[in-house]
Structure 1
Amino acid sequence: MDIFLWVVQAVLCLAFLAAGGTKVASPKEKLATTMGWSKSWPPAGLKALGAVEVLGAIGVVLPWATGVATVLTPLAAVGLAVTMVGALVVHARRREYPNAAPTILLLILSVVVAVGRF
Structure 2
Amino acid sequence: MNLALWVCAGLLATVALAGGITKTFVPKQKLAEALGGAWTGDAGVGFVKTLGVLEILAAVGLIVPAVTDVAPVMVPVTAACWVLLMVGALITHLRHGERMAIGLNLAYLALAVFVAWGRFGPESFIG
TM-score by length of 1: 0.97
Task: Show the 5 A alignment for 1:29-48.
Answer: 29-34=29-34, 35-48=37-50
SS of aligned partner of 2:71: coil
Please name the residue that 1:17 is paired with.
Answer: 17
Alignment check: 8 A CA contact 2:62 2:75 kept: yes
User: 2:12–2:112: 8 Å Cα contact kept in structure 1?
Assistant: yes
Tell me which residue corresponds to 1:59. Answer: 61
Whether 2:81 is the aligned partner of 1:79: answer yes
User: How many residues are paired up?
Assistant: 118
For residue 71 of structure 2, what is the aligned residue in structure 1?
69
| Cα shift at 1:97 | 2.2
- % identity of equivalent residues: 39
**Of 104, 107, 123, the match for 1:105:** 107
Map of 1:94 onto structure 2: 96
What value does the CA root-mean-square deviation take over the aligned residues? 0.8
The aligned residue for residue 6 of structure 1 is 6
Displacement of 1:83? 0.4
Letter in 1 for 2:21: G
Structure 1 runs of 4+ aligned residues shifted over 6 Å read none
Give CA deviations for 1:66-102 in whole Å, capped at 9, x if unaligned: 1110110100001111000000000111222222000
TM-score, normalised on structure 2? 0.90
Residue 27 of structure 1 corresponds to which residue in structure 2? 27
One-letter amino acid of the counterpart of residue 118, structure 2: G
